[in-house]
Chain A
C-alpha cells in the first residue's frame, strides 16, 4: 500500500517545468522500424530534455510501444538512431545501454523467487551484489518496505509493478522508459504508481518517457506529450495542447 505521505505530495511540487531544460537527455533522430515491409515507426525525430517526463499517446496500433522499444534498442531500428548525451547508442554495448536506459514493461514479468532476488538481478549482471540495506532502500522508494523475502507469486498486480519499477531502478538508469505500466491496474493503484514515477523523476533526475492510452494520466504526469499515429509523429508539445488537438 502507498504511504499517505507520498500520496499527499502535490503534483505541482514534483512535476518538472514545461519549458525544456537546456540539457538533452534523449536525442531521437529519424527513427524508423519496418517489419515485413510495413513501417511501424516512421521517421520520428525529437529531443527529450534531461529530467523531463514525456508522455506518448495515440490510438491503438499507432506504434507507441514499438517506438519505445527502439529507445533502449530491444528492437533494432531500420534507420535513424538515438543519441544519449550526444553519443550514438549503437556505439554503446547493448547490455550497458539497457542499464542506462531502463524499461518497465506493461506486465511486471517478475522472475520466480523472492522480491529481493528480483531486485538483485540487474546489478548481478555486472557482478555486483546489492546489500540488504540497498534492497531495503529500493523497496522504501516504491513503498513496499519489508517485502524483501516475499515470494513474487503472492504479490498483487500493483505490488508486482512496484517491484518491477524497483528492479529497474536497481540499475540506476539515466532514462526510464515505461510502457503502459498502469494499464492493468485499478485507478487508485495507477495513481499511486504515477506518483512514484514522478517522485523517482524528481529524486534521481531520470528522464522519463511513458507510453499511455490514458489521457488524464498524460495530463497529470507529463508536461509535454508526443502524439503518434500510424507510426508517425503527428504532434509534440504541451500535453494539454496536444490532447485538445487530437
Chain B
C-alpha cells in the first residue's frame, strides 16, 4: 500500500514538478514579506517574531501536506468522496456545536441538522445529475454546501439561544399560564430560522451583480459555455439556500425541545436567574 502511494506520488510528480519549485520560491517571498512586518512590529515594541515564525512554518508544512493528500484523494471514487464528505460533516457539526456548550447533546444535534440539510441536497443534486459522482467534483461542491449548512446551523442556534435568554420573562409567564414549551418559543423559532437564511438570500440576490463565484470562473477558464457556467452556479447557490434552510429548521426543531425539561422548565437561562432571590 505504502509502495503504491509512493509510486503514485512520483508518478504524478507532485513533489518534483517545476511548478512546485516555483511555488516554494513564491512561498519564501511571502515569508520574507511577513518577516518584514514582524520587524516593523518589533520597531513599535510588538514582539510577535517567534509566534509568527512558527506559524508560518507550520502553515507551509500543513498546506503542503494537504495538497499532497488532496492530490492523492482526487483520484479516488464515490465511496472515498462519501467518506470525505462524512468527515467534513462531523467537523462542521463540531464547529457549530461549540456555539452552544450549554445544551447537552449539541454535537449530535448539529450533526443531524447539517446532515439533513447538506446530505439531502448533495443527494438530490447527484440524482438530478447536477453533481458528478467523481471525487474531484463531489468533494469541492459538497464542501461548499456543508460549510453553508454549518453556518446556517450555527447562526440559527446562536440566534435562538440569545433570543431565549433575552426573553426568559415572557417565556416563563407563558409557561405559568399553562402553555407548552413550543408555544412559548414560537416567535424565536421563526426569527432564528429566518436569521440563518438571510445571508444566503442576500448571496442569491447579489449573485452576478456583486460577486462572481469561484465555481463559475473555474468552469469558464476550463472552457465551459459561459451561459451553462452561469446557470450551474445559480443551481449551486440555490441548493446552498435549500440546504441552509433545512439545516437551520432542523437545528431549531431539535433545539427548542432541549432548552426545556420534560416538565416544561426552562433550562437555558442567564446565570443571574439561578441565584437565590
For A49, what are the chain B residues with a Cβ–Cβ distance below 8 Å?
A: none
B86 at interface, CB cutoff 8 A: no
A162 at interface, CB cutoff 8 A: no
A75 at interface, CB cutoff 8 A: yes
Contact among A61, A73, A99, A171 with B275 in the assembled complex (CB-CB below 8 Å): A61
Interface residues on A, range: 35 or more
Cβ–Cβ contact B169 & A125, under 8 A: no
Closest 7 CB pairs of A and B: A40-B276, A109-B173, A122-B177, A103-B176, A99-B178, A65-B277, A63-B276
A184 at interface, CB cutoff 8 A: no
| B interface footprint on A40-74 (CB within 8 Å = 1, 0 otherwise) | 11000000000000000000111111100000111
Within 8 A of A (CB), among B257-277: 261, 263-265, 274-277
B183 at interface, CB cutoff 8 A: yes
| B interface footprint on A187-207 (CB within 8 Å = 1, 0 otherwise) | 000000000000000000000
B132 at interface, CB cutoff 8 A: no
Cβ–Cβ contact A121 & B276, under 8 A: no
The B contact surface, by secondary structure, is loop
The count of chain B contact residues (Cβ–Cβ below 8 Å) is 20
Cβ–Cβ contact A109 & B170, under 8 A: yes
For A111, what are the chain B residues with a Cβ–Cβ distance below 8 Å?
A: 170, 173-174
Q: Which of A10-18, A90-98, A134-142, A219-227 contacts B (4 or more CB under 8 A)?
A: A90-98
Contact among A61, A74, A99, A109 with B277 in the assembled complex (CB-CB below 8 Å): A61
For B274, what are the chain A residues with a Cβ–Cβ distance below 8 Å?
A: 35-36
Bound Cα distance from A236 to B58, whole angstroms: 69
Cβ–Cβ contact A66 & B277, under 8 A: yes
For B174, what are the chain A residues with a Cβ–Cβ distance below 8 Å?
A: 111, 121
* Contacts from B to A (Cβ < 8 Å): 169-170, 172-180, 183, 261, 263-265, 274-277
For A167, what are the chain B residues with a Cβ–Cβ distance below 8 Å?
A: 177
A105 at interface, CB cutoff 8 A: yes
Q: In the complex, which residue of chain B has the Cβ closest to the Cβ of A231? A: B276
Cβ–Cβ contact B275 & A40, under 8 A: yes
Q: In the complex, which residue of chain A has the Cβ closest to the Cβ of B175? A: A74
- Say whether, besides A40-B276, A105-B172, A73 and B263 are in contact (CB < 8 Å): yes
A126 at interface, CB cutoff 8 A: yes
A78 at interface, CB cutoff 8 A: no
For A230, what are the chain B residues with a Cβ–Cβ distance below 8 Å?
A: 276
Q: In the complex, which residue of chain A has the Cβ closest to the Cβ of B169? A: A109
B226 to chain A, nearest CB (A): 51
A102 at interface, CB cutoff 8 A: yes
A114 at interface, CB cutoff 8 A: no
Q: In the complex, which residue of chain B has the Cβ closest to the Cβ of A126? A: B178
B185 to chain A, nearest CB (A): 13
Contact among B173, B178, B179, B275 with A96 in the assembled complex (CB-CB below 8 Å): B178
| B interface footprint on A72-108 (CB within 8 Å = 1, 0 otherwise) | 1111100000000000000000111011001101010
